[in-house]
Structure 1
């Protein structure tokens, strides 16, 4: 019997990682500049709003405990 021997040359894992990463990045649908700007504004508005709400809640709790402790 004559069996052909196939040699599996192992690819360097680091090179494979970068090739796979590049292939995945080509599949990405990147947002337009306008979409990116709009989404950035949304994130900033939500962050600012949540900071204000959490600040107000913190202030109210501080006042409540100040009254509770009597300080």
Structure 2
């Protein structure tokens, strides 16, 4: 178990490390989020299409 002094030192060190972080701009975060959403939608539609095609092929093979 951590002693209170060790816990205080830990949080001070965490605070110092967080000051060193270079945070991305809001614009960069917004653009990256949009890119991820668009890419996810494209892949989802592609996989949905493949699912339909393979379902039809399996139906034809086992009909």
TM-score by length of 2: 0.75
Moved over 4 A (4+): none
User: Is structure 2 residue 43 aligned with structure 1 residue 43?
Assistant: no
When the two chains are superposed, the root-mean-square deviation of aligned CA atoms in Å is 2.1
Counting only pairs closer than 5 Å after superposition, residues 1-71 of structure 1 correspond to structure 2 as 11-12=5-6, 14-15=7-8, 16=10, 18-70=11-63
Bigger Rg over Cα: 1
